[in-house]
Amino acid sequence: MKKVTYVTGNWAKIESARSILEPLGYVVDNIKMETPEIQADDVTEVAKYSAKWAANELNTPVLKNDTGLFVEGLNGFPGVYTHYVDDTLGVDGLLKLMDGLDNRKAYFKECIAYCEPNKEPVVFEGITKGIIDTKQSGTYGWSWDFVFIPDGENQTLGCFSDDERWKFWSLDAYKELTKYLENK
């Protein structure tokens, strides 16, 4: 049985990876650890760097995820700075920035980097589209869940339980990862 370590503490990411990779014969474990995040203009580069560092540090194949929220009406902001904006401006700050904007389209770009020790990482991407609501709503989740309405829905992710919420996320990155691992 092959093993891959997901460097994350996010249970939804771990469950997504397990549901897709375990049927292929992979054991998915996880470790929550701080990894260096480079200053880059693209979440892809951040994921690649962190995955390579973690694979070499742990001496095992790893998955590392980096996700950004991109708001069209703000020219893609916060993008790669999503975590920083969450910590500093928060959801209310983002809503203030968007006050009066007609274009509220947004998407999450999720990059999953797979890396083996002493090798170059391979990155897979998924996009989850939606809009940013004008106000916060819901009781489940955290942060952007209270303002992000996925395409095809009329309420924020925060209105869906943990078991329902993760199902709105694109699984494209995991599907591409699966193809890569099957052909490796």
Is residue 86 annotated as part of the catalytic site, yes or no? no
Instruction: Tabulate helix, strand, coil % of the chain (nearest 5).
Output: 40, 25, 35
Q: Which of 30, 40, 45 is nearest to 81 (CA)?
A: 40
Question: Amino acid letter at 141?
Answer: G
Cα angle 150-128-101, degrees, rounded to a multiple of 5: 60
Q: What is the DSSP string of 21-40?
A: HGGGTEEEEEE---------
Q: What is the DSSP string of 36-85?
A: -----SSHHHHHHHHHHHHHHHHTS-EEEEEEEEEEGGGTT-EETTHHHH
CA 24 – CA 1 distance, rounded (Å) = 9
Candidate list 66, 86, 87, 163, residue with the active-site label = 66
**Residues facing 100 on adjacent strands:** none
Cβ atoms of 168 and 125 closer than 8 Å: no
Active site (catalytic) residues: 66
